Amino acid sequence: MKVQRLQILDDDGKLLNPDLEPNIPKETLIRALETMVQVRLLDEKGIRLQRQGKVTFHIFTKGQEAHVAAALALSDDDWVYPAYREHGIALFRGFSLEDLVNHLFANIKDKEKGRRLPGLFGSLKHNFVNPSAPIGTQIIQAAGTAYAMKMQKEEKVTAVFFGDGASSSNDFHSGLNFGGVTKSPVIFICQNNQWAISVPFRRQTAAENIVDRAKGYGIEGIQIDGNDFLAFYTAVKQARERALRGEGPTLIESITYRVTPHTSSDDPKAYRSEEEVKKWEQKDPIKRFKNYLIGKKYISEKDYEKMVERNSELLDELIDKAETLPKPGLSTLFDDVFETIPPYLLEEKEELLEFYKEA
Amino acid sequence: MVETNMVGAINMALREEMERDESVVVLGEDVGKDGGVFKVTAGLIDKFGPERILDTPLNESGIIGFAVGMALKGMRPVAEIQFIDFIWPAADQIISEAAKFRYRSGGEFTVPMVIRSPYGGGVKGAHYHSQSPESIFAHTAGIKIAVPSNPYEAKGLLLSAIRDPDPVLFMEPKRIYRAFTQEVPEGEYTIPLGEADVVREGSDVTLVSYGSMLHVTLDAALMAEEQHGISCEVINLRSIVPLDIETIGRSVTKTGRFISVSEAPRTAGFSAELSALVAERWIEYMESPIFRVTGYDTPFPMILESQYLPTPERVLAKIVESYNY
Ligand SMILES: Cc1ncc(C[n+]2csc(CCOP(=O)(O)OP(=O)(O)O)c2C)c(N)n1
Ligand SMILES: [Mg+2]
C-alpha cells in the first residue's frame, strides 16, 4: 500500500509546506530544543560512562529526539508509556536531569533503587509509566489505561511508544484490537527505526508499512517523517483531538533510524553498512529543528552552541555528584516486593542482613 | 580436540548436527547475520543459509509455535529465546502445546524440538536479563530440561537434546558462556539426559547443583576442605528433568548431609523439589537438616545481585552448619 508520509520540514530544516506549520509559542519551541539537546548529551556521556565501567549499561536515543514533540502535543496530564528511548518526554515534563543522572548511576537517590538497567525509569508524577524490558507489553496496557480514562470521564489520552520490532509482538495485536473495539483514547506511536537489534524492518512484516495495519484494526493511521519535529507534533496533536472527540485510537508510524548501536552491548558492524547510517545522519532531527528555529530568528547558531555548552557543563556537574553517592543498601533488596513484607520474606531479609553483617 | 568456551562448544554442536541432519533448523531473533546477541550462532548463516538459520520477527510465541509446527512435520527445530526472561509470551506454546502433544494424541503427534535459552544472573542484567525459571518448566509434565555447566557438557547435552524424541529446554548459563575454555572433541559424542556427574568425591556433606551455580558450589567445597577439613561430595545434575535421583541417593546415604544450590528464588524452586525427594527417601540417613542455598523471593535486582545470588561463602556457611549440627 502506498501511503502519504507527513513531512513539514525538509532535511535541512526549511519549511516544505508553510500551510502546515503548527502554531507553537517561541519559548516552548526553544525549551523543546533544549530538551532534545539534553537527551543527546545524555547519550554521549552515558555511553562514555558505560565504557569507563561507571554505569552498567547504556541505551541510545540519538536520532530519535523528535519524540519530544509528542510532549508538546500532549497535555502533561495525559499518560505516556515509553518504550525506552523516550527520555525527552519525561524531561520536558519536568523530570529533573539530576534524578535521571542518579538513576543512571543506580545510586542511593535512584528512584528505582538500583534495580533497573540504566534508562529504564518512569515517574508517576510525570504520568510517565515505568517501562518493562519484555518488548511490546506496554501497548495493550496503554489501551487499558485509555479505557480507564474514558470510564473516569477524564479529558485525557494515553500515548504509547514502541519499536518496529514490537509491532510483531502479541501485545501489539492485543493493543490495537482492544483499543479499536473499545474506541479508547489511545495513541499508538511506532518508532520505526528500521532495526530491531540486527533484524531489519523487512523481516518484521510482509506489509509495506506498519501504518497499513491500522486498517485491519479499524483505527486511524498516519505515517510521518519521525525526524521532523513539526510533523511529529502535528500527528500527535491531531490524534489527541480525535481521541478526545471519542473517535478512538490512532496508529502513528514514525519513520526514523537508529543511528547508534542498539545498546552498549551491541556492535552493528556484523549486520549493517556504514553508508546506510551516514545517509540517515543527514536527516538528523536536532539539526533540522535547530535550523528551523534559526530560520525563524528564534535563536542563533551561537545561542545553540551556548545551549549545548551550558547543558554539557550542567550534566558534568550532576555526573560528578552522582558518582560519589553510595549505592542502595542491602535491606532495599526486600522493599516493594509487596506493600508490607510478609513473615517468610522478613525471615529471608534477616538471614541476608545477618550473613553480610558477619562477613 | 578444540580448546573452546561454552559459546564455541554450542556453536560446534549446532554446526555438526546441521551437517549431519538436514532436518535441523535454527530459528530465533538475531540468530542470523548477528550470530545471536551472545554470538552462539555466529557464522552458521554463512554455511547453512537464511532458510535453515531463520531470523524471525520479534515474537516468542511465534518462534515456539512455528517450531512446534515444524517438529510435528518431521523437522528438528532448535529455537532460540534470546533471554529466558523473554520466554513468557511463549508459555502457552510450550506448556499447553509442545509439552502436551504426545500425551494428548496418545503418542501419535510428537514434538522433537529444542528450546535454547541463556539464563541466570551474574552479568548485571537486572530484572529481565537474569532470571532462572527452571522450576516452572520442571513443574510442566512433558518437557525435559538440560543445564550444562561447562563447554564439554554443553556440546554433549545439546546433541542429546536435538536427537531426543521429546521437547527439551536447554538452559545456557550465560554467566559462564566465556568464563573458561576446555578441550571439546570434534565430532560425535553425547551425554545422556538424566545422568548426573559426581564431580568431586567426598564423605561428609553432599552438595548438589547445576549450571553456573555448580562452580559456586565447587568453590565452597574447596573452601570447606581447606578451611574446615570438611569433605564434600559435589554432584552436577546436568539435567533436572529427568533427574538422576540414584546418584543423589548413593551420595546422601553415605554422607548423611544434603545441601542443594540453585540461584532461582527459594519458594517452590528446584531446590525445594530436591529437598523433598531426599526427605521422602532417605530421611533416616540424615544427620542434619536438609538445606538449600538459593536466591531470594524478590524480583532479580541489579546493584545487589551479588548479594542476591548464592556465593561460595553462603554455601560454605551452610556446609559448616550442616556439618556441626
Ligand atoms: C519479548 C522480548 N524479546 C526479546 C527481547 C530482546 N530485545 C530487546 S530490544 C529488542 C529489539 C527491539 O526492537 P524494536 O522494537 O524495533 O525497538 P528498538 O530497539 O529498535 O527501539 C530485542 C529483540 C526483549 N527485550 N523482549
Ligand atoms: Mg526498531
Q: Which residue of A has its CA nearest to B124?
A: A56
Is A271 noted as a catalytic residue in this protein? yes
- Gap from B92 CA to chain A (nearest CA, Å): 12
Does A85 contact ligand 1 (Cβ within 6 A)? yes
Catalytic residue flag (residue B215):
no
Omega before residue B242 within 30° of 0, cis: yes
B253-303, pLDDT tens digit by residue? 999 999 999 999 999 999 999 999 999 999 999 999 999 999 999 999 999
Of the listed A202, A203, A271, A310, which one is catalytic? A271
pLDDT of residue A359: 54
Query: Is the distance from CB of B45 to CB of B13 less than 8 angstroms?
Result: no
pLDDT given for residue A358 in this prediction: 60
Task: Using the predicted structure, report yes or no on whether residue A1 has a pLDDT greater than 90.
Answer: no
Note whether B308 and B295 are within 8 A (CB).
yes
Ligand 1 atom closest to the Cα of residue B30 is 23
* Per-residue cell: A177: 484490537
For residues A27, A28, A30, A32, the Cα torsion angle rounded to the nearest 10 degrees is: 160
Contact B56 CB / ligand 1 (< 6 Å): no
Ligand 1 lined by A59 (C-beta under 6 Å): no
Q: Are B166 and B102 in contact (CB under 8 A)?
A: yes
- Tens digits of per-residue pLDDT, A28-42? 999 999 999 999 999
CB-CB neighbors (< 8 A) of B310 in chain A: none
pLDDT tens for residues B149-182?
Answer: 999 999 999 999 999 999 999 999 999 999 999 9
Q: Closest Cα of chain B to A270: distance in Å?
A: 6
Share of chain A above pLDDT 70, in %: 99
pLDDT, tens only, A265-300: 999 999 999 999 999 999 999 999 999 999 999 999
* Closest among B92, B126, B309 to A132, alpha carbons compared: B126
Provide the number of CB pairs (under 8 Å) joining chain A to chain B: 113
Which residues of A are less than 8 Å from B58 in CB distance? Answer: 135-136, 165-166, 168-169, 196, 199, 204
- The answer to whether the CB atoms of A198 and B55 lie below 8 A apart is yes
* DSSP letter, residue B160: H
Say whether A170 and B59 touch across the interface (CB within 8 A).
yes
| CB of A197 sitting under 6 A from ligand 1 | yes
What is the C-alpha to C-alpha distance for residues A327 and A114, in angstroms, rounded to an integer? 7
CB within 8 Å: B33 and A270: yes
Q: Does B298 touch chain A (CB under 8 A)?
A: yes
CB-based contact, A206 to chain B, within 8 Å = no
Question: What nine digits make up the cell of B196?
Answer: 548426573
Q: Specify whether the backbone of B263 is left (phi greater than 0), alpha (psi in -120 to 50) or beta.
A: alpha
State whether residue A258 is helix, strand or coil.
coil
Per the CATH hierarchy, to which homologous superfamily does domain B2-184 belong? Thiamin diphosphate (ThDP)-binding fold, Pyr/PP domains (3.40.50.970)
Ligand 2 center–CA A191 separation, angstroms: 7
Q: Which H or E run contains B299?
A: none
Q: With CB atoms and an 8 Å threshold, state whether A334 touches B299.
A: no
End-to-end alpha carbon distance in chain B: 46
Question: Distance between CA atoms of A198 and A221, rounded to whole angstroms?
Answer: 27
Closest listed residue to residue A285, CA positions, set A28, A45, A85, A13:
A13
Q: Has this prediction a pTM greater than 0.90?
A: yes
Atom of ligand 1 nearest to the CA of A137: 1
pLDDT given for residue A2 in this prediction: 77
Query: What confidence score (pLDDT) does residue B200 get?
Result: 98
What's the confidence (pLDDT) of residue B170? 99
What contacts A179, CB < 8 A, 6 or more positions away? Answer: A142, A143, A146, A186, A188, A217, A219, A248, A249
**All cell numbers assigned to B125:** 542484567
Residue to mutate, A174, A194, A197, A259, ligand 1, most ligand atoms under 8 Å from C-beta:
A197
Residue with the three cell numbers 551491541:
A266
Query: Which one of A65, A135, A258, A263 would you pick to mutate in the ligand 1 pocket, going by the greatest count of ligand atoms within 8 A of its CB?
Result: A135
Name the closest-CA residue to atom 20, ligand 1. A196
State which amino acid sits at residue B266: R
- With an 8 Å Cβ cutoff, are A134 and B55 in contact? no
Residue in B224, B228, B192 with CA at minimum distance from that of residue B207: B224
- B146: cell is 538440560
A88 Cβ contact list (under 8 Å, min separation 6): A35, A36, A38, A39, A61, A65, A67, A68, A71
> What is the DSSP secondary-structure string of A61-95?
-TT-GGGHHHHHHS-TTSEEE--SS-HHHHHHTT-
Residue positions counted in chain B: 325
Domains B2-184 and B197-323 alike in fold: yes
User: Residue B58 and residue A199: Cβ atoms within 8 Å?
Assistant: yes
Annotate A235-260 with b (16+ C-beta within 10 A) or e (fewer). Answer: bbbbbbebbeeeebbbbbbbbbbbbb
Verify whether the Cβ–Cβ distance B307 to A57 is below 8 Å. Answer: no
- The response to whether residue B117 sits with its C-beta less than 6 Å from ligand 1 reads no
CB B220 within 8 A of CB B185: no
Beta bridge partners of A199: A196
Determine contact: A165 vs chain B, CB below 8 A.
yes
Tell me: pLDDT of A3 over 90: no
Instruction: For residue B88, give the ligand 1 atom closest to its CA.
Output: 1
In chain B, where are the structural domains located?
Answer: 2-184, 197-323
Cα dihedral B53, B59, B65, B66, rounded to 10, equals -30
> Quick one: cell of A340?
508490607
A191/A162 Cα distance (integer angstroms)? 6
- What residues contact residue B206 under an 8 Å CB cut-off, 6+ apart? B232, B233, B235, B248, B251, B252, B254, B255, B257, B258, B259
Answer whether A338 touches B (CB < 8 Å). Answer: no
Tell whether A196 lies on the interface with B, counting CB pairs under 8 A: yes
Mutation choice for ligand 1 from B58, B85, B174, CB with most ligand atoms inside 8 A? B58
What are the residues whose beta carbons fall under 8 Å from the beta carbon of A61, sequence distance 6 or more?
A39, A40, A42, A43, A85, A86, A87, A88
CA distance A204 to chain B (A): 5
Residues B303, A196: C-beta atoms closer than 8 Å: no
A90 Cα to the center of ligand 1, angstroms: 21
Instruction: Return the CATH number of B197-323, one of 3.10.20.30, 2.130.10.10, 3.40.50.720, 3.40.50.920.
Output: 3.40.50.920
Summarize pLDDT for A175-190 with one digit per residue, the tens: 999 999 999 999 999 9
Instruction: Give contacts of A327 with chain B, Cβ < 8 Å.
Output: 303
Residue A135, ligand 1, Cβ within 6 A:
yes
pLDDT averaged over consecutive 10-residue blocks of chain B (325 residues)? 98 98 98 98 98 98 98 98 98 98 98 98 96 98 98 98 98 98 97 98 98 98 98 98 98 98 98 98 98 98 97 98 98
Tell me the three state secondary structure of residue A20.
helix
CB B111, CB B166: distance < 8 Å:
yes
The minimal CB distance from A355 to the residues B89, B127, B317 is found for: B317
Cell 511506532, residue? A190
Contact B74, B64 (CB under 8 A): no
Residue A156 confidence class, pLDDT cut points 50, 70, 90? very high
Among chain A residues, CA nearest to B37: A266
Which residues in B lie closer than 8 A to residue A265 (C-beta atoms)? 37
pLDDT at position A303 over 70: yes
Query: Could you tell me the three cell numbers for A174?
Result: 492485543
